[in-house]
Amino acid sequence: MAQSKDSLWGGRFAGGPSEALEALSKSTHFDWRLATYDLKGTSAHLVALHAGGYVTTDELAVLNKAVAELTKRVEDGSFLPKATEEDVHAALERGLIQIAGSQLAGKIRAGRSRNDQIATLIRIFMLDAADAIEAQVLDYLDALCSQAENHIGVAMPGRTHFQLAQPVLLSHHLLAHAWPQVRNLQRLEDWRKRANRSAYGAGALAGSTLGLDPKLVAEELGLNGVSENSMDATSSRDLVAEFVFILSLIGIDLSRISEEVIAWVSFEFGYAILADEFSTGSSIMPQKKNPDIAELTRGKSGRLIGNLTGLLATLKGLPLSYNRDLQEDKEPMFDSFDSLMLIFPAFIGMISTLTFDKERLEYLAPKGFSLATDVAEWLVKQGVVFRDAHEITGQLVQFCEANDLELDQVSDEQLVKVSKHLLPEVRKVLKVSGSIEARNGAGGTSSSQVIDQLVALRKLAPHRRV
């Protein structure tokens, strides 16, 4: 079998690759997505080739026009890779040869390798992808803030170990889901500093003998600098793994609130109802209204973790420098990005249209003796040692359970019977609003603290959605 004329590497081979190898090797079905990024890389590389004296000013003009024309054809779908082409790079070289001729277009490969090309392309793709993800996270933060703003002052049961623990404001609970996403935005910001480097100039691994200036390529691509080590440049994918990790964390945080939404909209909880637009029915049970968005989000977060662990496993044990295994970086990264971009619009819609049942939340807030900590802390303020205060309050709870009473239903006589320290004044802390407002330390659930949180969050995530 003869080597295909579409190949970038036929010269030293007497025969072409087997069909089985071609099928395994081919990446156009996923790397074609990087075609316009590869063309940007080519424009930038041309600047370096021109500065190095390998392309004249006239040739540069012709080649730039060819790159622009090919970009147009790629974007409008009139230029596509052929079935026989191995990867995006081979297909685009053919496209440039078709437009500018092989004498001119044949110059472009000088001083670059697919190895430094792909390492750079994936970074500029991810930098754009990070912009898109950040916009979604900000929309989501806006949805959480709006719900929090609309429910200032509404109490709900706060839980630990999924058991009723202490009353909190619904806004406080909702905003507890905002801060992890703020940290994810910070993570992306920090990752950008590292991802913002060009691998061009590394060649296949050791650098190029042509004396091209890699900084020119980086500048043209809008990147901040050049990789410090050419072998690291082409063989590391930690930046891809880190990006996929941050996307996994974003998904995991969405999955955690999904779990809660699923509980909240159940009959037993009855905290909230889903909007028709953002819930689904059952094909057999006519009464059902299901939280499929939350479930799909929870499900897809497993897939995001899978993409990350798969990629880490690919990297583990790879010797320097480039190995073809590295081709396996792209599909998990694309999949994590696409999954989040699919999840977010539906998820944001679901969160912003949730209707909370305020009466039920307020009714449940003091249940499960959730004001017991307030009693213990009231005793401490009266001079009782906390260890004793904890014990006394525990006995009060036991008394209530035995007599089927809530804390605020115990009479003055019954209170002093449990302990001489339990004076009638303790009643003033047996109110949900008092309990909440008393938690006024930084980050606490009191309404003024929650409003401070909202102000801080709104600085990061102003109103964005109409």
What residues are annotated to the active site? 161, 282
> Looking at beta carbons only, is 38 or 374 nearer to ligand ARG?
38
> Looking at beta carbons only, is 221 or 294 nearer to ligand ARG?
221
The sign of the dihedral angle between the CA atoms of 206, 95, 81, 33 is positive
Residue of 96, 118, 175, 195 interacting with ligand ARG (CB under 6 A): 118
- Total residues binding ligand ARG (CB under 6 A): 9
DSSP letters, 337-360, are HHHHHHHHHHHHHHHHT-EE-HHH
> Looking at beta carbons only, is 120 or 136 nearer to ligand ARG?
120
Any contact of residue 114 with ligand ARG (CB under 6 A)? yes
Least separation in angstroms between residue 313's CB and ligand ARG is: 17
Phi, psi angles (nearest 5°) of residue 14: -80, -35
What's the distance, CA 9 to chain centroid?
39
Any contact of residue 38 with ligand ARG (CB under 6 A)? no
Strand (E) or helix (H) holding 308: helix 292-315
Least separation in angstroms between residue 307's CB and ligand ARG is: 16
Any contact of residue 212 with ligand ARG (CB under 6 A)? no
Any contact of residue 115 with ligand ARG (CB under 6 A)? yes
Interior/surface letters 110-137, b for 16+ CB within 10 angstroms, e for the rest? ebbbbbbbbbbbbbbbbbebbeebeebb
> Looking at beta carbons only, is 118 or 247 nearer to ligand ARG?
118
| Spatial separation of the C-alpha atoms in residues 128 and 36, rounded to whole Å | 12
Least separation in angstroms between residue 220's CB and ligand ARG is: 21
Residues 311-330 close enough to bind ligand ARG by CB under 6 A: 324, 326-327
Query: Closest by alpha carbon to 274, among 327, 206, 349?
Result: 349
Least separation in angstroms between residue 47's CB and ligand ARG is: 22
Any contact of residue 27 with ligand ARG (CB under 6 A)? yes
> Looking at beta carbons only, is 235 or 352 nearer to ligand ARG?
235
Strand (E) or helix (H) holding 127: helix 114-150
> First and final CA of the chain: distance in angstroms?
60
Pattern 327-366, ligand ARG, x by CB under 6 A: x---------------------------------------
Any contact of residue 26 with ligand ARG (CB under 6 A)? no
Check if the beta carbon of residue 220 is closer than 8 Å to that of residue 54.
Answer: no
Any contact of residue 3 with ligand ARG (CB under 6 A)? no
> Looking at beta carbons only, is 121 or 212 nearer to ligand ARG?
121
Please identify, among the stretches 112-120, 178-186, 245-253, 259-267, the one whose residues bind ligand ARG according to the rule CB under 6 A: 112-120
> Looking at beta carbons only, is 177 or 197 nearer to ligand ARG?
197
Please count the CA atoms within 13 angstroms of the CA of 11 that sit on its side-chain side: 2
Pattern 393-432, ligand ARG, x by CB under 6 A: ----------------------------------------
Check if the beta carbon of residue 173 is closer than 8 Å to that of residue 198.
Answer: no
Q: 321 preceded by cis ω (within 30°)?
A: yes
Residue of 38, 85, 87, 116 interacting with ligand ARG (CB under 6 A): 87
Q: What is the DSSP letter of 290?
A: B
Dihedral of CA atoms 48, 54, 56, 61 in degrees, nearest 10, equals -50
Q: Which residue has the tokens 């072998």?
A: 231
What are the residues binding ligand ARG (CB under 6 A)?
Answer: 27, 31, 87, 114-115, 118, 324, 326-327
